[in-house]
Amino acid sequence: MKLLSAAPANGLPSFPIALLRQVLSAIGEGSRRGEWGAKLDPYRTATILMGSITHMIITWLLYRRPENLSKATKPMVDQLLKLVEPAEPSTTTPRKRKASPRAGSNQKLPARL
């Protein structure tokens, strides 16, 4: 299989890296479009998505469970997609933050201990 046999200079197969780039791109684009939270860490999210699917595939290869891999993936992907849904808007008003002393201000800073 050519996709798995072609290895770049770092020794890693190029197929998983290409897939990771596509997933990261999709997550970043979704954040820019507002489809899910902008504070979502694309690398962490890609790791959760790809790791979960990989785990299911490995379990299927070892134990042939679940019997129908395609059918079993849908509920898992639905659950994973809930992780990236934007949070519901808050109904409370945000609290105001206390102003912190700025550089060059005349407020005294505590002495070091």
DSSP for 65-79, written as a single string: -SS-HHHHHHHHHHH
Count of structural domains within the chain: 1
Judge whether 113 lies within some domain: no
Judge whether 106 lies within some domain: no
* Amino acid (1-letter code) at residue 55: H
Segment 84-107, tens digit of pLDDT: 877 565 555 555 666 555 555 555
Distance, in Å, from the CA atom of 38 to the CA atom of 27, rounded to the nearest integer, reads: 10
The answer to whether the CB of 84 falls within 8 A of the CB of 27 is yes
Judge whether 91 lies within some domain: no
Judge whether 5 lies within some domain: no
Identify the pLDDT of residue 1. Answer: 38
The answer to whether the CB of 40 falls within 8 A of the CB of 27 is yes
Identify the pLDDT of residue 5. Answer: 45
Judge whether 107 lies within some domain: no
Whether pLDDT at 2 is above 50: no
Judge whether 94 lies within some domain: no
CB-based burial label for 66 (10 Å; 0-12, 13-18, 19+): middle
| Higher local confidence (pLDDT), 34 or 112 | 34
pTM of the model: 0.57
Identify the pLDDT of residue 4. Answer: 42
Range of the domain at 75: 11-82
